[in-house]
Structure 1
Amino acid sequence: MMAILFNHENNFKNYLMYGKRQYMKQKNVVYEQGDIGEGFYYLDSGLIKVHTSTPLGKERVLNIVLPGQLLGVQAMDQQAHFTTATTVKDSVLYYFSYDDFKTLITLHPPILNLITKSIIQKMHILAEQINLHTLTTEQQIAAVLLNIYHDFKNYEIPLTQKDLATCTGLTRITVYKTLKKWKEKKLIDSKNKRFLIKNPDLLKNYLFHS
């Protein structure tokens, strides 16, 4: 359940000169399920949700992309996107075409390893999400938090309850009640517009066995 964030990835800012800056308003589609990919994106600011449609046409959120993360890498070599990415807030992205990518790895070879890890992680996300089939509302929230936790390699997640509700499509009341229950169980805590995951293993067990 991940979209990759640069701890090393914050260093990706050093390579933004190779990409093309794009500003997108809230609720704009970055790429759509079925579109042929010809590059990837780095999110500099804003918030993006990655989602797909169920056979019944219901939206299913697979991931939330935060500033410092890449998206679309798994389809950059003219493969079809198996998800849709939509801006939740006004966002600034940098687009790297496949040619830009080739230039980048020629000049900076270590980037290739970084991108490869990102693709592997994204495929792992998809496999886990498929295995989860229909998620309860609580499992949806757990999945999103664990996804970001794994990306950041950090127990603190820079996301508000409002962001979480907007991205998942759940009501703020539902999100509030779920998080309140988890706080009481000492699974998570929150402070200064951040969630603190106190026990990721227990939260993951909750996701797969609740």
Structure 2
Amino acid sequence: MTNLRYQWSPYLMYGQKMEVKKNVVVYRQGEQGKGFYYLDRGGLKIILLSANGHERTIDYVPVGMLSGEHGAYKGSYLTSAITTNPSILYYFSDEALNNICMDHPQAAVLFTNSQIFKVRLLAEVIAFQDSPVEQQMAHYLIRLHSIHQNENVPIDQTSFARYIDASRITVNKILHKWKEMGIIELSHRGAIRIVEIDKMNEIATREEESVGISLWK
């Protein structure tokens, strides 16, 4: 996934720049698509609404990535996106996408790869939703580590609990167990630093073997 970051930046001139405040819904699950977005600054969290009305945070979009690709060509948005802080987005209509692909044919491959990545994300959520919490935490922490390309993962315990759909108390206990084992360090600013990535991978690998899936290597 990391090779997709910033790859859309040469085409920002085709988009419409938007300055968006914190906690603004950029697009909503189930609505007919009107285009897609590129995160240039700030943050987006992706929410999945289940059939029973339960909301789960399933992703945090890093700067330099597309979001809402499923809304291209009037497709329905499969998830919702909400800004996590003041952000700068670029909006791309269907017409803009057509113009980009006409002027830069390689952009069509890039856009398709980004769409595939998002489908894999949803598949992963389904595959891991019934797994033990500790293994889910390890797996998603490694994925966030990979996405942000930094050993310091910018997520606090409350957000992490929502991310894996578990209680904050459960997440807190596991994080402090890992801290005592020397696997992670906890920052006062809410970040989680992975100290022993190999040990974290061992925990996550047990989960991947049990569900028979590994999407993020």
**Shorter-chain TM-score tier:** 0.7 to 0.9
Q: Which runs of 5+ in 2 are unaligned?
A: 212-217
**Structure 1 residue 56: deviation in Å?**
2.8
In the alignment, residue 159 of structure 1 is paired with which amino acid?
A: P
Q: Distance in 2 between matches of 1:114 and 1:188?
A: 35
Among all aligned residue pairs of Structure 1 and Structure 2, give the percentage whose two residues are the same amino acid.
32
> 2:85: which partner in 1?
89
Q: Of 24, 27, 35, which residue of structure 1 is paired with 2:23?
A: 27
Name the CA shift for 1:69/1:162 in 2 (closer, same or farther; >3 Å): farther
> 1:15: which partner in 2?
11
> 2:215: which partner in 1?
none
Tell whether the 8 Å contact from 2:34 to 2:71 is kept in structure 1 after alignment. yes
Name the CA shift for 1:175/1:98 in 2 (closer, same or farther; >3 Å): same
Aligned-residue RMSD, C-alpha: 3.2
Q: What aligned pairs does 1:138-177 form with structure 2 within 5 A after superposition?
A: 138=134, 141-151=137-147, 154=149, 156=151, 158-161=153-156, 164-165=159-160, 168=163, 175-177=171-173
> 2:67: which partner in 1?
71
Structure 1-normalised TM-score?
0.78
> 1:182: which partner in 2?
178
Report which stretch shifted further, 79-88 or 187-196: 187-196
Q: Distance in 1 between matches of 2:114 and 2:98?
A: 16
Tell whether the 8 Å contact from 1:64 to 1:144 is kept in structure 2 after alignment. no
Structure 2-normalised TM-score?
0.75
Matched, 1:130 2:116: no
**Structure 1 residue 41: deviation in Å?**
0.7
> 1:202: which partner in 2?
202
**Structure 1 residue 109: deviation in Å?**
2.2
Q: Distance in 2 between matches of 1:21 and 1:190?
A: 36
Tell whether the 8 Å contact from 1:189 to 1:198 is kept in structure 2 after alignment. no
Name the CA shift for 1:76/1:174 in 2 (closer, same or farther; >3 Å): same
> 1:39: which partner in 2?
35
Using CA pairs below 8 Å that are at least 6 residues apart, which structure has the higher relative contact order? 1
Q: Distance in 1 between matches of 2:150 and 2:46?
A: 22
Matched, 1:106 2:102: yes
Structure number, greater radius of gyration: 2
Report which stretch shifted further, 168-177 or 46-55: 168-177
Q: Which runs of 5+ in 1 are unaligned?
A: none
Q: Deviations over 1:22-41 (max 9, x none)?
A: 12222211111111113111
What SS class does the counterpart of residue 100 from structure 1 fall into? Answer: helix
Name the CA shift for 1:160/1:141 in 2 (closer, same or farther; >3 Å): same
Q: Distance in 2 between matches of 1:55 and 1:179?
A: 30
Name the CA shift for 1:187/1:65 in 2 (closer, same or farther; >3 Å): same
Report which stretch shifted further, 31-40 or 182-191: 182-191
Q: Distance in 1 between matches of 2:89 and 2:130?
A: 31
